[in-house]
Amino acid sequence: MQALYAQLLVGLINGSFYALLSLGLAVIFGMLNIINFAHGALYMMGAFCAYFLLSLTGLGYWPALIVAPIVVGIFGMILERTMLQWLAGLDHLYGLLLTFGIALIVQGVFQNYFGSSGLPYAIPDELKGGMNLGFMFLPIYRGWVVIFSLVVCIATWYLIERTRLGAYLRAATENPTLVRAFGVNVPRMITLTYGLGVGLAALAGVLSAPINQVRPLMGADLIIVVFAVVVIGGMGSIMGSIITGFALGVIEGLTKYFYPEASNTVVFVLMVLVLLVKPTGLTGRAA
Amino acid sequence: MSALTDDTLPITPRAIRDEMIVFAVMAVLLAVVPWTGIYPFFVMQALCFALLACAFNLLIGYGGLLSFGHAMFLGTAGYVSAHALKVWGLSPELGILAGTAAAAALGVITGFVSIRRQGIYFSMITLALSQLLYFIYLQTPFTHGEDGIQGIPQGHLFGVFDLSKPTVLYYVVLAGFLGGFLLIYRTINSPFGEVLKAIRENEPRAISLGYKTDQYKLMAYILSGTIAGFAGSLKVFVAQNASLTDVHWSMSGEVVLMTLVGGLGTVFGPVVGAFVIIAMQQYLAGYGQWVTVIQGVIFVACVLTFRRGVIGEIAHFLRRSL
């Protein structure tokens, strides 16, 4: 049973990353109509940012949790201002191709300097050790990742669904021209939205640094799984992305326990099944 | 919204004549390669990728479907052909047939799933499906995991042509490429191709005219996958191995890049793009990961400033269809 709970926890942690990343993808897609292929590369940049902060400036985990998303978010906003904004009005697929190119550049540059092996990043002192829950041993850091991700996801949901800023955002998604006519600076809002989505990816990167090591290709395979998560969940609803992300992480964890050979593929198989039964995704509207 | 290929010209006798002239020039140029001293292995490799890119282009350029998983056809056909040749000891023609048939079967299965969604979702689904196959091939014993299938015997095609001789192999690959190219060319200029273009331009209208668009898209997808698989089977004879590289998502990305550089939705663009990208990889092979960076830069530059691609720009300048 110990092993089962351990795999469930690993599943929940992967689910946190799926949720944070697919949430960002959904928010970006809503505003920019772009599927951000560079999301995995930016997630990796978040982890590297934490690594550099520690090794170059001595800033530890807690400052990195705030600084890395901001730095990478600004990098994302520069990308949006200099490149992505020129794609408005073109076929959506160009956004996919452009961000794929950006991902190749970022990952290639990091691979040149850091190879493919992982760099260690220590768990902060406050979160070291573990708790005995009676039925299992819980490493505190892992519990922290799950709870903190959940809080961030809910906060993002609240920001978009329940605040005035979020209302502008949703309105601009539906009809940007009309919202501009009301005096809202929609292009700036688009830039900030991209920054927000990218910042969430970077935050996930910082969270995963102590668990998965810091590697140039850590986001490359992850983003493909997240695409499958997005196809399963549909991008119509924020809460849908969060729930699907966590749920698929747990299912993956269970698969690791009961049938380890399929743990890499289970998300993709589920995607096929969902497409056969409900092609628009579990929460998605018809495209 | 501007479509991916917005200045396609109507098919006229003049357009067909232009394209046949270019085709003849291309065929003659390729036929004299063994006498020019150009490394034939390089050209053969480029021809295999050119056919793969042409198959990919059939989907995106004429059906409006961007597949981000075309490596799965290349890799699957490669593995099946390699296994048939090496383990079952089949003759080359049967090996090619087995690989191509496997790709066709894969096209039927994955096509049935992926054409349920349009646009960006289609791209993500094909990418996810190819990643699914990647993991399957990583684990199944017959592919030999990270090592791949190596030392594949080349044999005699139809019992006559000795494929271990580079010149003979070159002409066999060239014949395969030209055959595949003409098949694609015939398809896009057939009534079937016209319906595909109609679907790309305006699917609801095509539906309202009574076309079962899903069936057309599925047919195009299967045909594209089958030809991509044929290219993968040919590649086995050139490279004499079949490995995980051919199923990896980066390979799918390269195919997209080739077609983008040459010109999406142009007849000859994918061929030009394949030669450009393969040549670039050859010359920059010593620079390690910078090749990836350069590929990324080309992607970005093409999307931002050069969306028509090489052949697309030439065709636009000459106001011809190429």
- For residue B120, give the nearest of A83, A92, A228 by CB distance: A92
Q: Report if residue A274 sits inside a domain.
A: no
Q: What is the ipTM of this complex?
A: 0.90
Q: Counting every residue, how long is chain A?
A: 287
The answer to whether the beta carbons of residues A57 and A213 sit under 8 Å apart is no
Which of B5-19, B167-181, B190-204, B261-275 is predicted with the least confidence, judged by mean pLDDT?
A: B5-19
Q: Report if residue A233 sits inside a domain.
A: no
- Best of A18, A96, A235 to disrupt the B interface (most B CBs within 10 Å) is A96
Q: Which residue of A has its CA nearest to B67?
A: A93
Q: Hunting for tokens 């005699």 — which residue is that?
A: B156
Q: Which long-range contacts (CB under 8 A, 24 or more apart) does B281-288 make?
A: B282/B42, B288/A112
CATH number, position B284? 1.10.3470
The answer to whether the beta carbons of residues B47 and B272 sit under 8 Å apart is no
In this prediction, what percent of chain B has a pLDDT beyond 70?
Answer: 97
Provide the number of structural domains found in chain B: 1
Q: Does any CB of chain B come closer than 8 Å to the CB of residue A90?
A: yes
Provide the number of structural domains found in chain A: 1
pLDDT at residue B10, rounded to an integer: 60
Question: Model confidence over A76-94: pLDDT tens digits?
Answer: 999 999 999 898 888 888 9
Average pLDDT over residues B219-247: 93
Q: Does any CB of chain B come closer than 8 Å to the CB of residue A133?
A: no
CB contact under 8 A, B2 and A35: no
Whether A2 shows a pLDDT value over 90: the answer reads no
* pLDDT confidence tier of residue A159, bands split at 50, 70 and 90: very high
pLDDT at residue A280, rounded to an integer: 80
Q: Does any CB of chain B come closer than 8 Å to the CB of residue A114?
A: no
Q: Report if residue A280 sits inside a domain.
A: no
Whether B129 shows a pLDDT value over 90: the answer reads yes
Q: Does any CB of chain B come closer than 8 Å to the CB of residue A277?
A: no
The answer to whether the beta carbons of residues B237 and B153 sit under 8 Å apart is no
Domain that holds residue A116: 2-218
Q: Which residue of A has its CA nearest to B301?
A: A98
- Distant-in-sequence, close-in-space partners of B31: CB < 8 Å, separation ≥ 6: B171, B174
Q: Which residues in chain A touch residue B2, judged by CB atoms under 8 angstroms apart?
A: 89-91
Q: Report if residue A18 sits inside a domain.
A: yes
CB contact under 8 A, B2 and A221: no
Q: Report if residue B5 sits inside a domain.
A: no
Q: Report if residue B122 sits inside a domain.
A: yes
Q: Report if residue A226 sits inside a domain.
A: no
Q: Which residues in chain B touch residue A276, judged by CB atoms under 8 angstroms apart?
A: 113, 116
Q: Report if residue A284 sits inside a domain.
A: no
> Cα B168 to chain center, whole Å?
23
Question: Model confidence over A169-182: pLDDT tens digits?
Answer: 889 888 889 999 99
Mean pLDDT, chain B, rounded, equals: 89
Q: Report if residue A250 sits inside a domain.
A: no
Question: Model confidence over B17-48: pLDDT tens digits?
Answer: 888 888 989 988 988 888 887 888 889 999 99
Q: Which residue of A has its CA nearest to B65?
A: A93
Q: Does any CB of chain B come closer than 8 Å to the CB of residue A98?
A: yes
Minimal CA separation from B29 to chain A, in Å:
32
Q: Report if residue A125 sits inside a domain.
A: yes
Q: CA separation (Å) from B3 to A16, B119, B205?
A: 37, 11, 16
Q: Report if residue B8 sits inside a domain.
A: no
Minimal CA separation from A224 to chain B, in Å:
6
Domain that holds residue B255: 13-318
